[in-house]
Amino acid sequence: MRYEDEIKGKGKQVKGAAEAKLGKLANDPNLEAKGRQERAEGKLQETVGKARRKVGDAVKDVGKKIAS
């Protein structure tokens, strides 16, 4: 799937933000830290997905230019 990493990354960000907020409300520093970690991982995964997609698009564009 073309946007798979981007979608999964967004999901991790949402889950991580919720965990961090819950950890803060429950005064649980471990849960809060775990949430922040997961949110950061999600941002990274989304960024990698975007970069991968952009590289793929650029390769397709070059291929089209060569073919025409």
pLDDT computed for residue 29 by the predictor: 97
Q: The whole model's pTM is what?
A: 0.82
Average predicted confidence (pLDDT) for the chain: 94
**Number of folded domains in the chain?**
1
* H-type alpha helices, the chain: 4-25, 29-67
**Where in the sequence is the domain holding 33, given as residue range(s)?**
4-67
What is residue 65's predicted lDDT score, i.e. its pLDDT? 85
> What's the rounded mean pLDDT across residues 42-61?
94
pLDDT digit string, tens, across residues 15-45: 999 999 999 999 999 999 999 999 999 999 9
